[in-house]
Amino acid sequence: MRAHGNKEFWLAALRADGPLFRAAVAEAAPDAPVPSCPEWTVAQLTGHLASVYGFVTDHVGRGVTTAPQRRSTEPVAASVAEFDERFAALVSLLDALDPEMPAWNWAPQSKRVSFWHRRMAHETAVHRWDAQMAAGLAEPVEAKLAADGVIEVLDTWLPAGKGRCPSAVQGMVALSASDLEQTWYVRLRPNGGVALLDTDTLLDTDDHHERAVATGTASDLQLALWGRIGLDLLTVNGEQRLVECLQVG
- Any idea what the CATH number is for the domain that residue 113 is in? 1.20.120.450
DSSP string, 180-230: TTEEEEEEE-TTS-EEE--GGG--TT----EEEEEEE-HHHHHHHHTTSS-
Shared-domain flag, residues 97 and 171 = no
Q: Of 118, 135, 152, at which residue does a domain stop?
A: 135
Instruction: Give pLDDT, residue 204.
Output: 46
Shared-domain flag, residues 88 and 29 = yes
Shared-domain flag, residues 70 and 86 = yes
Residue 25 included in any domain: yes
Shared-domain flag, residues 113 and 198 = no
The tally of domains found in the chain comes to: 2
Shared-domain flag, residues 81 and 159 = no
Residue 1 included in any domain: no
Residue 69 included in any domain: yes
Q: Of 109, 135, 161, at which residue does a domain stop?
A: 135
Shared-domain flag, residues 167 and 49 = no
Residue 249 included in any domain: no
CA neighbor of 234 nearest in space, from 158, 179, 169: 179
pLDDT > 60? residue 206: no
pLDDT band with cut points at 50, 70 and 90 for residue 29: very high
Q: What percent of the chain has pLDDT over 70?
A: 92
Instruction: Give pLDDT, residue 163.
Output: 83
CA neighbor of 94 nearest in space, from 127, 131, 52: 52
Instruction: Give pLDDT, residue 198.
Output: 60
Q: What percent of the chain has pLDDT over 90?
A: 78
Shared-domain flag, residues 79 and 128 = yes
Structural domain including 147 reads 143-244
| Tens digits of residue pLDDT in 74-115 | 778 999 999 999 999 999 999 999 999 999 999 998 999 999
Shared-domain flag, residues 40 and 92 = yes
Check which CATH number belongs to the domain holding 157 and give it: 3.30.1050.10
Residue 2 included in any domain: no
Shared-domain flag, residues 84 and 118 = yes
Q: Of 108, 135, 162, at which residue does a domain stop?
A: 135
Residue 175 included in any domain: yes
Instruction: Give pLDDT, residue 169.
Output: 79
Average pLDDT over residues 119-125: 98
Shared-domain flag, residues 120 and 178 = no
Shared-domain flag, residues 179 and 127 = no
Rounded to whole angstroms, the Cα distance separating 128 from 84 reads 14
Rounded to whole angstroms, the Cα distance separating 236 from 129 reads 23
Residue 154 included in any domain: yes
Rounded to whole angstroms, the Cα distance separating 222 from 145 reads 9
Residue 82 included in any domain: yes
Shared-domain flag, residues 103 and 169 = no
**Strand order across the beta sheet in which 182-188 lies:** 194-196, 182-188, 171-177, 210-216, 235-238
C-beta of residue 50 within 8 angstroms of C-beta of residue 78: yes
pLDDT band with cut points at 50, 70 and 90 for residue 201: very low
